[in-house]
Amino acid sequence: MERLVILGGGESGVGTALLGKNKGFEVFVSDKGTIKEKYKQVLIHNDIEWEESNHTESKILNADLIMKSPGIPDKAPLVKQIRAMGIPVVSEIEFASNFTEATIIGITGSNGKTTTATLTHHILKQELNVGLAGNIGDSFAKQILEKDYENYVLEISSFQLDDIVDFKPHIAVITNITPDHLDRYDYKFENYIASKFRITQNQTKKDYLIYDADDEVINEWLKNNSIHSTLLPFSLTKIIENGAYLENNNIKITIDNNQIIMPTTNLALEGKHNIKNAMAASTVAHLLNIRKQTIRESLENFQGVEHRLEHVLKINKVQYINDSKATNVNATYYALESMETPTVWIVGGQDKGNNYEELFSFVNEKVKAIICLGVDNEKLLNTFGNIVDIIVETQFMSEAVKIAYKIAESGDTVLLSPACASFDLFENYEDRGRQFKAAVRNL
């Protein structure tokens, strides 16, 4: 019996454990931290051996196969040891994909992947049997075990792509590539770019890559590297023969001379970046023969993603917007770009080597006050201190919202778009977003 050892007892780890046990592996789950109670109960209930707050090497280094959680870096001494011994290490996406015949749509990118994946699933589920997994919702492995959909939309992070071997999506989407997570890639942008493009490494001519043709980083990589996939670019500025482009507020999508036209006037999501997300999702749907009417209706009634430019409340004619999912500068760029009123901007957290310069023009034009919410706000104060009249700092969400309430006037917007990771003050970006919403509701 093959021994499968799983490092990390979170959603992907426990899902893999269940699928592994079902497929006849001898399974052991090891987590250096503590395992959440709900996951512990699942492991106990299914007679799966586990440990927490520790990695027992003797129980790990005898594995035939190791699935490591995307959160564990390759630099970890245990991972180095495992690799030195030649034990194969895979991600959940790689492991699970061996046990399904489903058509897979894999979506990656620095920003927009959650919105694009959720929107794509929203359109496809009107006509197809389809699951949504990966970096989102129930794990891919668990869904294969319990539901085994005929199609899957997977939101895939670069960390998940780092440990694939044979994984091959029939349709791959790269929304964009901007510097992010560089701490995991030796601070080399090219390593991060290569990681994103791993999504195409096993694709053939019969498979597709949908990508943003306005993204210089993607174009440059495609020019210098050969891939086998059939390319379907999308663009806001160029005319695209095979793929999608924007003309007079209409999205035009052409695949093998079959063209559909979608008006953007009633799109549920605002902002240029969301036109791109809509193009990517609609191109997938058109490829899979979803009816034009269905695509159009789905684009118009899509509710959006929690913590992504989420309109919370309007109080005294001030709109409060939760964009806690903006954990890098590029995401905040999109948020500020879509602001149409004077903005009180709440920013800050754990900096991943951010360069804020690309935000200067928006801050000059739209931001009337900045509230820095982080343990260390020095970089923000130095960067923006001379650009805005009001800049204050706090370590508490409730206080940040109260300060914003005092500063904002009728017709203004209060925007939480941190451009940083949340781990200095919060459990994760969801926790940060929920605290913001609770604080706004308590005003």
Question: Is 289 among the annotated ligand-binding positions?
Answer: no
pLDDT of 129 > 90? The answer is yes
pLDDT score recorded for residue 268: 83
Give the per-residue pLDDT at 155: 96
Separation between Cα atoms, residue 416 and residue 268, nearest integer Å: 21
| pLDDT-derived band at 205, boundaries 50, 70, 90 | very high
Averaged confidence pLDDT in the chain: 94
Cα 134 from Cα 130, distance rounded (Å): 13
The Cα 323–Cα 340 span in angstroms is 15
What is the per-residue pLDDT across 8-23, written as a single tens digit (0 to 9) for each?
999 999 999 999 999 9
Would the annotation count 15 as a binding residue?
Answer: no
Q: Which pLDDT value is given to residue 184?
A: 78
Determine whether the annotation assigns residue 110 to a binding site. Answer: yes
From residue 374, alpha-carbon distances to 237, 396, 420 in Å are: 38, 8, 9
Q: How far apart are CA 96 and CA 28, in angstroms?
A: 17
For residue 258, say whether it is annotated as part of any ligand binding site. no
Rounded Cα–Cα distance for residues 261 and 292 (Å):
8
- Range 5-9 average pLDDT: 97
CA distance 326 to 333: 9
Structural contact between residues 17 and 29, judged by C-beta atoms closer than 8 angstroms? yes
| Greatest Cα-to-Cα distance within the chain, rounded to the nearest angstrom | 68
Separation CA 217–CA 219 (nearest Å): 6
200 is in an annotated binding site: no
Find where tokens 């990589």 sit. Answer: 221
Q: How does residue 71 score in pLDDT terms, banded at 50, 70 and 90?
A: confident
Q: Give residue-wise pLDDT tens across range 316-339.
A: 999 999 999 999 998 999 999 999
**DSSP per residue, 9-71:** -SHHHHHHHHHHHHTT-EEEEEESSPPPHHHHHHHHHTT-EEEES---HHHHTT-SEEEE-TT
Whole-structure pTM over 0.75, yes or no?
Answer: yes
Any known ligand binding at 265? no
CB 243 within 8 A of CB 266: no
Distance CA 236, CA 212 (A): 9
165 is written with which tokens? 């071997």
Reported in sequence order, the residue ranges of 53-149 that DSSP labels E, i.e. its strands, are 65-68, 89-90, 103-108, 130-134
Map tokens 């454990």 to a residue.
17
What pLDDT was estimated at residue 190? 84
**Residue 112, annotated as binding a ligand:** yes
Residue 261 β-bridge partners = 252
Measured CA to CA in angstroms, residue 176 lies from 173, 232, 234, 283, 297 at distances of 9, 14, 11, 16, 26
Give the span between the Cα atoms of 91 and 10, in whole angstroms: 13
The SS3 call for residue 35 is coil
Q: How far apart are CA 124 and CA 131, in angstroms?
A: 10
Q: The sheet that has 3-7: what strands, in order across it?
A: 49-52, 26-31, 3-7, 65-68, 89-90
Q: Where are the beta strands (DSSP E) in 213-257?
A: 230-235, 243-247, 250-255
pLDDT surpassing 90 at residue 186:
no
Q: Using CA atoms, how far apart are residues 208 and 203, in angstroms rounded to an integer?
A: 8
pLDDT at 271 over 90: no
DSSP annotation of 183 reads G
Length of the chain in residues, anyone?
443
The residue type at 194: A
